[in-house]
Structure 1
Amino acid sequence: MRAANQICNTPQAAHLCGVFARSRHPESCYRPVTGRDVLETIRQHYVYNTSVRKALMARYVLRRLIQAVVTLAIVVSLTFVFGRLSGSPAAILLTENAPQSQIDALNHRLGFDLPIWQQYLNYMGGVLHGDFGDSYRQPGVPSMQLVFERIPASFQLGFAGLAVGLLLALIAAVSIHLTGRRSLRTVFLGFGSLRQAIPDFFFGLLLVLVFSVWLGALPSLGNADWRAMIMPVLTIATGQFVVYTRLMDNALSEQSVSDYTRTAYARGERHSTVVLTETLPNALLPVLTVAGINLGTFLGGLVIVENVFAWPGLGQLMLGAVYSRDFPVVQSALIIIAVIFVVANLLVDLIYGLVDPRVRLS
């Protein structure tokens, strides 16, 4: 009897005790199930599941953080190697007739006379301490300071172009599904494909030729006036238009045949109401995910647009630093772009891990 009492006191066997207590052999169990036993079983089950979810999420976050750190280390190493492969900056920083002694002195001051492995260790040590080196063109000015001064202008232009591109794609995709006309889809996707076939620099020059040279309506250079943003933003937005239009169109088509959409139609909802309130919110999720993942690549692609319109952003700074072999500035700019790209991907992964438990288990 004492052994049966010990067995039945465990929450896992409590439900069996209730069954045996009402059977023809009540001596096989000491007591029936009580409400306290049921609550204790539920509590232990909840605590176990919560601890398992926390452990899986912690492991998932740790794995993603390790991948992010490894990615940044690879980017920093590659920028260092490619920068050194282009040669010493002394040939550009000094005059053509500079004596060899002056070139050797400059290489010694910049550390280019050391072995490549020692240069790499010195650079990585400085990066770990937050020292990315001073600009070669502007001695005494930290390279990261120059990069941070240009980031706001690039963010302003990049996010404006991305927002306008997403808005145009949203209008096009919703118009296609509200009207149900295939001809409208052909027009939008045809225009987007034609625009995507034109390089950004050539499309930007066409806008300058039409709106600045012929019409004189918009400024073509700089960012002194808000109107100066119109042509760069149009160049960026139209270049991304067809990509997001296709994504949103496909997502709306998939959501339109789902069960909840059929239920909405069965309730007597109008077609426009179903599209705008039922299918559209769910169709936006994959589009915003792709936009977040492409954010780092998108900011890196602003180099061409910023140079066409003389926009004082990170892209213009990078191109000038490449021409002058200002390695610290180039490396700092690439590191910032890599950090933005890695952080955007990390946030997307973490959000997916919170929403979908299957991602944490993979």
Structure 2
Amino acid sequence: MKVISCEKPKRFVEKEEEIPMIKQGEVLIKVKSIGICGTDIHAFYGNQPFFTYPRVLGHELSGEIVEAGVNDCELKAGDSVAVLPYLECGKCIACRQGKTNCCTNMKVFGVHIDGGMKEYIKLPIDHVIKINGISFDQGAMIEPLSIGAHAVRRSKIRDNQFALVIGGGPIGLGVMKFAKLAGAKVIAMDINEERLQFCKDWAQADFTINAREEPVEAITMFTNGDFPEVVFDATGNKSSMMNAFQYVSHGGLLVYVGLVKDDITFNDPEFHKREMSLLGSRNATREDFKYVISCVENGDIDVNPIITKRLKLNDIAAGFEVVTNPTNNIIKAIIEV
């Protein structure tokens, strides 16, 4: 089978490997669609935390089961599935509390271990979820959307509260959409006017702010001086993440959805006087995946407009820098296998 490996920053190599053999408790999947995400981009350019080379990237995945042993998951050959790529240990304090998304010994498919930029993969059978009612492209979008859903669920945002979402990439768009579904009034912030328009059109953001202009003044106006009860930063940008503290209401919450390979600092008096809460939101859980799948199935979320570029597995080495160049304004690129 064909495998695309990132041997070092900015270098993909095509290889041939044997189709993996599965044992009891595993499932063999023919990969169909792979989403290119921020983690893949950071890894390709050498900026991804907790990462080593060489590595086969790809964890936003959907495919078709080729082989499955006897199981309690009602999965069989021919089923369409989405991949839950977070391989937890099941024993640590986080796992014992049901927080498998932040396992102390987490192995993320395509990050800590080789992922899905290949024709076939094998996984533990309890890390795939049936998606027979949706397309493979939609299935590849379940993981990034679940990250947004998880962040919103952790925030416990309530009806009619203000949610400021900083960053209009796929993760931020997901946060906006699920915040709207939770009843929040959403303010979208980005530096790209075209992307801000997409936030209004697709995520139904109530207000938009260009971060290069006067964000504090705009936030003051939109919230009548109260500031948002919840601020989500989905940029993975150090400057943005530090600036986000000033946008939170007194008694409010800041949620870091993005990750940056750096230290974050903040002014303690500003933090303290607000009695702010600060949360990290990492990955997602099976519960989040199931919720997102149901939202796609019932039409609450239309993922098709987010997918703005497609390429073949053969084209990754030549086309990756093109599809990840911000000036091309590609929202989400999908690799078709």
TM tier relative to shorter chain: under 0.3
> Which structure features the higher share of strand residues?
2
* Richer in helix (by share): 1
TM-score by length of 2: 0.22
